[in-house]
Chain A
């Protein structure tokens, strides 16, 4: 039962254009969502997050949008740069307690390639 899904295994974008990475979830108890960037054989690097009480959060070139009714979030990168090429994971957590302490549920990741 995959509760967090990233349906696009890969995305290719030209430098300077917008990259849009998508993520869907099924568990309505998720209340916090995060995006991580990862290079092979390295740990994920935190990019940006959003609480379920918001529908948008911005940090520089990165913006995350949350549509709770659709159980969908997206990460926008504008403008895209070749250094953004990596695997992007979305992750979700529920309010702490019980079986949710310290647990992030991850999507399968999307490989982003930004061409010069």
Chain B
């Protein structure tokens, strides 16, 4: 079974731009969570989607948003990029009722 895939793997943007990242979960997994990893803050939870609905959200500004499609694929969007948004963005999927999240390889975003 294929793992979690994320595209693109690397991205360079400038301040003020917006960016969209994509995540395809493991087949059969309907829960998708997003995380941000930075050297200073570690791995921080952004939000979780299930059945096209956001069920939970972490402590991030409204510039961070996401959505989920009927095939469970998910996208996250960051608008008005700031230098501090430079990070590794990770998505993870799990089966509903399961406890273990499986992570994708991440998207490395650099904001200049």
Set of chain A residues within 8 Å of B55, measured between Cβ atoms:
101-102
Complex CA gap A61/B35 in Å reads 29
Set of chain B residues within 8 Å of A101, measured between Cβ atoms:
31, 48, 50, 55-56
Set of chain B residues within 8 Å of A32, measured between Cβ atoms:
99
Using an 8 Å CB-CB cutoff, how does the interface string of A31-43 with B read, 1 for contact, 0 for none?
A: 0101010000111
Instruction: Tell me how many residues of B have a C-beta within 8 Å of chain A.
Output: 29
Whether the pair B100, A99 counts as a contact (CB closer than 8 A) is no
Q: Which of B73-112 contact A (CB under 8 A)?
A: 88, 90, 92, 94, 99-106, 108
Q: Which of B28-72 contact A (CB under 8 A)?
A: 31-33, 35, 42-43, 45, 47-50, 55-56, 58
Complex CA gap A34/B92 in Å reads 14
Complex CA gap A89/B35 in Å reads 14
Given contacts A101-B55, A108-B42, 4 further A-B contacts (CB under 8 A): A89-B43, A99-B56, A102-B101, A104-B101
List residues of B whose CB falls within 8 A of some A CB: 4, 6, 31-33, 35, 42-43, 45, 47-50, 55-56, 58, 88, 90, 92, 94, 99-106, 108
